[in-house]
Amino acid sequence: MHKTLPVLALMALTLFIAGCSIESDTVYALQLSSTPTEREWAAAVPLRLEASGGATSQKKESEVDEDSVHVATASCHHGTGAPPVDMTVKAFYTPSTFYMRLEWKDPTMDLGHSWRWNGADWTSGDGREDGAGILWGENKNFDCAHSCHLKDWRMAGEMKATADFAMETQTNTVKDFWIWRSGRGAPGGMAEDATLSERGRVSDTGDTWELFTPNSKKAESGQENTFSEGDAPIKHPHESIDAVAPGELLADGSYDRLEVSATGKYLEGRWVVTISRSLTPVGKGDVTFSPGGEYFFGVAVLDGVGNDHNAGRIPLRLKLVEPGSITPPPED
């Protein structure tokens, strides 16, 4: 029986890994001639890890006064007590595109403020939204803690900052940051291609505007209590039973944050998210992928963004296996 070349290569990599001493923190990406199939994803060798952290211990603004400052360390933000999340990471690349697949357990599917027509009115979700983030670093000692939760920020009052600005880099440095959200990016098949800078999360051009705006008539007219009773989406399909509309809409001028594509599927209590981007970037802060290259990254998953936020606690690396560097076994 003859095997396809991609499957032979995958088998060869499995044998290579089984017979050699290999880093337990590394995901190996083989080159394929075209977009990986589900059969190839199933045969790929995964990097297995635990993402931990737990529920945020951050208090609500109504519970603190205007002098309160959030000391944005990982232990303060994440809290303790939540069980770790089992994850797998796989990767491939073609002559033009890099692919990474993240899979993790999640007992609930949270889709943010997605709207649904109930036959009489539009009703929205509770705002909880699942997601994942990949932050690309510069060396083997890099992990998310090197750039996340380094800044103290005011929790209440006029000078309150957002949690995004508790994420920052060292002066005059930037990092490539990919963010997938189940309710926002998922309908359009995209992840946000952001840049992490000394000013927090910004676009590739350095702008700090938000990529999404609420799909809410109350928000459009400047009212409060958006996504509450009496509110409705600005843009939506025909009002028929079980019709759905996104809770967030893409802002205008978002071209430099749409370079990363993504698809997310929720299957039997598990998210399967596949992210892709061209090997050659467009933005100045974007990582460039090359055959034989080695890259360092951190990964985080979110169960209802703003509530549970689990991150891999060890530095991770990606190796793009150069074509011809592994000899396939003979065919049967």
86-123: per-residue pLDDT in tens? Answer: 889 999 999 999 999 999 988 888 888 999 999 899 99
One-letter amino acid for residue 13 of the chain:
L
Tell me what pLDDT residue 56 has. 43
Is the residue at 326 inside a domain? no
Question: Structure pTM?
Answer: 0.80
For residue 248, what are the domain limits?
A: 5-320
Distance CA 1, CA 8 (A): 12
pLDDT at 212 > cutoff 60: yes
pLDDT band at 129; cut points 50, 70, 90: confident
Is the residue at 103 inside a domain? yes
Q: Which of 38-42, 92-96, 149-153, 245-249 has the lowest mean pLDDT?
A: 149-153
Is the residue at 145 inside a domain? yes
pLDDT at 219 > cutoff 70: yes
pLDDT band at 331; cut points 50, 70, 90: low
**221 DSSP 8-state letter:** T
Distance CA 270, CA 105 (A): 4
Q: Kindly state the tokens that stand for 324.
A: 């011809």
pLDDT band at 285; cut points 50, 70, 90: confident
| CB < 8 Å & 24+ apart, contacts of 277-280 | 277/97, 277/98, 277/178, 277/193, 278/96, 278/97, 278/98, 279/93, 279/95, 279/96, 279/97, 279/98
pLDDT at 231 > cutoff 90: yes
Burial of 274 (0-12, 13-18, 19+ CB in 10 A): buried
Is the residue at 161 inside a domain? yes
Is the residue at 303 inside a domain? yes
Close Cβ partners of 9 (under 8 Å, ≥ 6 residues apart): 30, 326, 328
Tell me what pLDDT residue 57 has. 40
pLDDT band at 15; cut points 50, 70, 90: very low
Is the residue at 149 inside a domain? yes
One-letter amino acid for residue 253 of the chain:
G
Distance CA 233, CA 113 (A): 10
Domain CATH code at residue 92: 2.60.40.1190
Is the residue at 332 inside a domain? no
Averaged confidence pLDDT in the chain: 75
pLDDT band at 20; cut points 50, 70, 90: very low
Is the residue at 325 inside a domain? no
Percent of the residues in the chain that have a pLDDT greater than 90, as a whole number? 30
Q: Kindly state the tokens that stand for 222.
A: 């400047």
Tell me what pLDDT residue 14 has. 52
How much is the average pLDDT of 28-55?
86
pLDDT at 67 > cutoff 50: no
> Which one is predicted more confidently, 171 or 75?
171
> Which one is predicted more confidently, 47 or 326?
47
pLDDT band at 265; cut points 50, 70, 90: very high
How much is the average pLDDT of 69-92?
60
Number of domains into which the chain is organized: 1
Q: Which of 4-18, 188-202, 301-315 has the lowest mean pLDDT?
A: 4-18
